[in-house]
Structure 1
Amino acid sequence: MNRNELKRLAQKYLAGEASAEEKAQLNQWYDAVDQGWLEKVDTKMPESEEEVKERIFENLKSKGFLNTMPIEEAPHKKRHFSRSLMFRITSAAAVLALVFFGWQFAIDKFDLANGKMVNVPGNKIMELLLPDGSKVWLSSGSVFKYPKQFNKANRTVELIDGRAFFEVKHQKSQPFIVKTNSLNVVVLGTSFDVRAYKKEGSTKVSVVTGKVGITMKGPQEKETVMLLPKQQVVLSDIQNHLIKAKAPEIAVNDWCNSKLVFEQETLGNVFRVLEKKYKVKIVAEDPSLYEERISITLGDQHLSEIMYILGFTKHFKYHIANDRITIN
């Protein structure tokens, strides 16, 4: 999409005249230029559309995406300066419109009387500040539900799908409860990770600090399993019972910092993530390599460095040519 087309669609969006197809184009562009952005959202106070736009606009400026500061011009260049300033303002409005549109895709107000539903786009990590001051980081593809205000008895939220890391503010008389499809997590004040992607067929809870109580859902009341730091439980949809174990040494919350964190993941899945991030194609001549598993945390290294690490760890050789990596 060229600049003129981008400005035209953004102006139509701001005027409320954009069609569903045009909005989809804007959202596609937004996701393409803003991959991996960690967005922070304060949910304590309800925001109007204008307040959301203003907040995101300031966020963009702080990250260096926009520059709206006027530049001193000589008197004979005043006319050129006006056109230049207008162009920059229009461009900023275009970007702001697109970012706000992306925000609307991420946050759906399903029922203002009860709370909000968050749908995190596939290439984002979102940080929420909940009404009680607790924080939650939501991984890409997560669906999360929380109330506008917590009641006096408890602080209940729901991780419908995906992964979340919680830093819960301690309140002795008001337990914090995380509901998932298969189990409930009860704490007073602690930090822990919940992984409950429906496609994986299992739910995992790992504790970083404090104490966490885990209770399986079901028609009959079941005993609560208590977890301490560096402990975790896994509930498989097939086995339908909790397996308690020591948490792996790998930091469970590294993904909150936009790192690539893999815990006993297949190389096939690791390659797919790298393909998407670095826009390459990775092909192994031996298909059995895709099924080998690895636990590793990757930051913003160059792709060649990552491939060296993987090759050294899993004992394979590779060749990089343009946008294709061949493993032999």
Structure 2
Amino acid sequence: MERSRVIELLARKMAGEATQRELEELNELIARYPDSVYYEEILKQLWPNAEDITADYPDVDRIYECHKLRYHNELTDSAMEIPSRNGYSYKTISFIALTACFLFFMGLFYLHSINKNALNTQLIAGKGMRKNIRLPDGTMVWLNADSKLSYNSDIAGKDVRIVHLVGEAFFDVAHHESQPFIVNTEKISVRVLGTAFNIKAYPVDKKSVATLLRGSIELSVNEQPQQKIILNPSEKFELVEGENGVLKTNVTLMIDHITPVRIGGNEYIEEVSWKNNTLVFHNESFEDLKPRLERWFNVKIDFHSAQSKSYRFTGVFKNENIKEALTAMQLIKPFTFNLKAHDVIIY
């Protein structure tokens, strides 16, 4: 597993035994998995004098006993064997013991979200809701319906500010020259210093979209981390999936300019209008519009008419409820609907 390889290479680096080729491999893996900075932070806690490794080697037995005691109630009873010192340098012994300890309790690091280095804070917006929050580093975040943002409560003090997004959010990132801001999603990652942009990455959607309003962002697809994409203001990036969930190899990456749409005498930027509590859609099929309506109005929509799925709509909703919205759409296309509680059937 590549993440285990990151841990191994970090330990070798701190032991002063990593080759130039291994250091280059480590840099490539960290670029692929930005959250690997957590591993380095924990290793530094285990080996606080890593910067001066030749001065005073750590007591390997003491390190092991310390962590065995600290995680006694959580670790399994299986014994961990420390190799014999015969034929090994103290640096090699330290490296082996440290890596073994680290790999042993690394799983606990991910299982316990209260760990101070984990993403221990969550902001959740349920269906039919939108939220706005200022992160501890000064970054403003608008969270769209049915979305979740995870981050570290101490994000302001991190060398790399990392958040994880499920759903859609608009970020106005506080500029800190020495503290990059990274947004990780299931399929794409975005790295910035200070800028304003929107990311839409719902797991059920076939598209992941990044829209830039101000500044610049460096974007990468998680399955193709070596390829970096730079967006300029008023550009948007789309990652499109195939029917079976596999990325389309021929149209995976698309960059286009943001084009405001004019509806009812007003201009809207469709990709970010939701931030102002306005749902805007332009020439969108009923089938593609369905998940947006479900999240916006907190309903479940079922089609009992194949023809109605292909109907295309352009419109703006602000304060309407689902009944008012569907009634207005009936003025454009001939369909009927049955509304019961939070369930809608389209005929």
What does 1:1-328 align with in structure 2 at a 5 Å threshold?
110-111=113-114, 113-114=116-117, 115-150=120-155, 151-159=157-165, 161-218=166-223, 221-222=226-227, 224-237=228-241, 238-239=247-248, 241-249=252-260, 250-262=269-281, 265-268=284-287, 270=289, 273=293, 277=297, 287-301=306-320, 306=325, 310-311=329-330, 315-317=332-334
Does the 8 Å contact 1:193/1:253 carry over to 2? Answer: yes
In structure 1, runs of 5+ residues without a counterpart are 1-108
Letter in 1 for 2:194: G
> Do the aligned partners of residues 110 and 118 (structure 1) sit closer, same or farther apart at CA in structure 2, a change above 3 Å counting?
farther
Instruction: Return the alpha-carbon distance in structure 1 between the equivalents of residues 223 and 301 of structure 2.
Output: 44
> Do the aligned partners of residues 318 and 182 (structure 1) sit closer, same or farther apart at CA in structure 2, a change above 3 Å counting?
closer
Does the 8 Å contact 2:181/2:192 carry over to 1? Answer: yes
> Do the aligned partners of residues 264 and 199 (structure 1) sit closer, same or farther apart at CA in structure 2, a change above 3 Å counting?
farther
Deviation, structure 1 residue 171: 1.9
Instruction: Return the alpha-carbon distance in structure 2 between the equivalents of residues 282 and 236 of structure 1.
Output: 24
Deviation, structure 1 residue 183: 1.8
Does the 8 Å contact 2:338/2:346 carry over to 1? Answer: no
Instruction: Return the alpha-carbon distance in structure 2 between the equivalents of residues 309 and 295 of structure 1.
Output: 11
Normalised by the length of structure 2, the TM-score is 0.51
Question: Equivalent residue of 1:200, what SS?
Answer: coil
Does the 8 Å contact 2:299/2:344 carry over to 1? Answer: no
Letter in 2 for 1:257: N
Identity, in percent, stands at 23
Letter in 2 for 1:205: A
Q: C-alpha deviations, 1:5-29, integer Å up to 9, x for none?
A: xxxxxxxxxxxxxxxxxxxxxxxxx
Normalised by the length of structure 1, the TM-score is 0.54
Instruction: Return the alpha-carbon distance in structure 2 between the equivalents of residues 156 and 278 of structure 1.
Output: 29
In structure 2, runs of 5+ residues without a counterpart are 1-111, 242-246, 261-268
Instruction: Return the alpha-carbon distance in structure 2 between the equivalents of residues 304 and 219 of structure 1.
Output: 43
**Higher alpha-carbon Rg:** 2
Question: Equivalent residue of 2:329, what SS?
Answer: helix
Query: CA-atom RMSD, angstroms?
Result: 3.7
Deviation, structure 1 residue 155: 1.5
